[in-house]
């Protein structure tokens, strides 16, 4: 008998214990709204934008690192299509100029600047150039990254430093330079970092890369918390396998190491529930989402974009 009653009593006392915080939270929210908003229907927090307005980035200035190729190039195309002026940051100026030309042909605004994301001086220079070119800096996409294959037992200090410097240090100091400008201009902003599913599910032979992308995910949360008071929203995207020039290079490296790329592909194919590898535009559309007003109450998150790979 006692055995039957005790759980019920516990359940009731838990319900009562939960009821008070929930009621107080509701009162707090309603009090906040009555102070800060004119009315539930017409108040500022209810002001509704149309779908087109939510995704309209006209008048915004953006930086996309590694925007000359792959995922970065696709992000440049989507942000400029939405109306933003984009500064493409890359070490490959030939490829970057071609992207600028493509954007202009489509009626968008883009410029390219040569910069190595490892350099703090370059980060400052890029921010200044962006404000000068587009009037403000509102969006930063930390996309540039490298993923050279190396077994942990063979990884040299030079390779470790190169990968961590580009993928993690570059992300931090470009974020810092951008955030300083956003704080100075008092208009907030968006920072979008490229992580990887490899950070949570290592695929082998890239421990240095896994560590760098784990760092990017952790940094995303830390900066989101620290810069929320300035209206700077920080989120990350964790792509799965996306077909880009970088991943093609990886395939060639595997081939050179005597591995059959077709075997490797077969291994992956069985793990794509959506039946295909990702395209750069699959990531670019999510970057646009994070850059838009669709997510002005979301910060510190990492969105996995892997066609279901991690589920399989």
Which positions are catalytic? 209
Coil/strand/helix, residue 89: strand
Task: Answer yes or no whether residue 236 interacts with ligand NAD by CB under 6 A.
Answer: no
Query: Does position 68 bind ligand NAD by CB under 6 A?
Result: yes
How far apart are the C-alpha atoms of 207 and 159, rounded to whole Å?
A: 11
Structure tokens at 182: 């956003």
**Complex with ligand NAD: residue 190 or 213, whichever CB lies closer:** 213
Find tokens 């760092």 and name the residue: 215
Among 175, 220, 241, 299, binds ligand NAD (CB under 6 A): 241
Q: Is position 91 an interface residue for ligand NAD (rule: CB under 6 A)?
A: yes
Residue 244 binds ligand NAD (CB under 6 A):
yes
Q: Using CB under 6 A as the criterion, what x/- string covers residues 186-215 for binding ligand NAD? A: --------x-x-------------------
Q: How far is the CB of 229 from ligand NAD (least distance, A)?
A: 28
**3-state SS string over 233-296?**
EEEEEEECCECCHHHHHHHHHHHHCCCCHHHHHHHHHCCCCCCCCECHHHHHHHHHHHHCHHHC
Question: Contact between 145 and ligand NAD (CB under 6 A)?
Answer: yes
Q: Between 143 and 220, name the residue whose CB sits nearer to ligand NAD.
A: 143
Nearer to ligand NAD, 206 or 233 (CB): 206
Cα 171 from Cα 174, distance rounded (Å): 5
Q: Is 108 in the site for ligand NAD (CB under 6 A)?
A: no
Neighbour-count burial for 64-97, b at 16+ CB within 10 Å, e otherwise:
bbbbbbbbbbbbbbbbbbbebbbbbbbbeeebbe
**In this structure, what token pair is assigned to residue 168?**
């993690």
Q: Does 306 bind ligand NAD (CB under 6 A)?
A: no
118 contacts ligand NAD (rule: CB under 6 A): yes
Span 151-170, contacts to ligand NAD by CB under 6 A: 166
Q: Which is nearer to ligand NAD, 218 or 245 (CB)?
A: 245
- Residue 175 CB, shortest distance to ligand NAD, in Å, is 14
Compare residues 137 and 194 and give the one whose CB is closer to ligand NAD: 194
Residue span binding ligand NAD (CB under 6 A) among the ranges 129-137, 138-146, 178-186, 259-267: 138-146
In 140-153, which positions are buried (b, 16+ CB within 10 angstroms) versus exposed (e)?
A: bbbbbbbbbbbeee
Neighbours of 28 (CB within 10 A): 10
Kind plus residue range of the DSSP H or E element containing 170: helix 170-185
Span of 28-36, 100-108, 144-152, 259-267 interacting with ligand NAD by CB under 6 A: 144-152
87 binds ligand NAD (CB under 6 A): no
Q: Which CB atom, from 48 or from 262, has the smaller least distance to ligand NAD?
A: 262
Helix axis angle for 93-105 and 70-81, nearest 10°, is 30
Phi-psi region of 186 (alpha: psi -120 to 50; beta: other; left: phi over 0): left
Binding site for ligand NAD (CB under 6 A): 65-66, 68-72, 89-92, 116-118, 143-147, 166, 194, 196, 239, 241-242, 244-247
């Amino acid at each position: 008998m006692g055995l039957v009653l005790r759980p019920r009593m516990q359940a009731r006392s838990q319900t009562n214990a939960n009821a008070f915080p929930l009621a107080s939270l509701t009162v707090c929210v309603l009090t906040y709204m009555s102070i800060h908003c004119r009315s539930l229907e017409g108040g500022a927090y209810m002001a509704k934008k149309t779908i087109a307005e939510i995704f309209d980035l006209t008048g915004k200035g953006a930086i996309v690192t590694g925007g000359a190729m792959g995922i970065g190039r696709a992000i440049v195309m989507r942000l400029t299509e939405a109306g933003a002026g984009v500064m493409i940051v890359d070490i490959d100026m030939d490829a970057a100029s071609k992207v600028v030309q493509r954007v202009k042909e489509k009626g968008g605004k883009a410029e390219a600047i040569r910069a190595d994301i490892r350099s703090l001086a370059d980060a400052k220079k890029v921010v200044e150039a962006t404000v000068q070119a587009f009037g403000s800096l509102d969006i930063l996409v930390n996309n540039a990254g490298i993923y050279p294959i190396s077994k942990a037992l063979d990884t040299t200090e030079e390779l470790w430093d190169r990968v961590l410097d580009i993928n993690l240090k570059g992300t931090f100091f470009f974020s810092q330079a951008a955030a300083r400008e956003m704080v100075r201009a008092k208009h907030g902003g968006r920072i979008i970092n490229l992580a990887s599913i490899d950070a949570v599910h290592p695929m082998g032979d890239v421990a240095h890369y896994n560590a760098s992308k784990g760092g990017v995910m952790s940094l995303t949360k830390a900066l989101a918390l620290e810069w929320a008071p300035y209206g700077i929203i920080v989120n990350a995207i964790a792509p799965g396998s996306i077909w880009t020039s970088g991943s093609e290079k990886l395939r060639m490296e595997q081939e050179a190491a005597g591995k059959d790329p077709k075997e490797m592909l077969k291994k992956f194919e069985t793990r794509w529930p959506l039946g295909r590898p990702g395209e750069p535009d699959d990531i670019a559309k999510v970057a646009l989402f994070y850059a838009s007003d669709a997510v002005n109450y979301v910060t510190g998150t990492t969105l996995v974009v892997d066609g279901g790979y991690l589920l399989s």
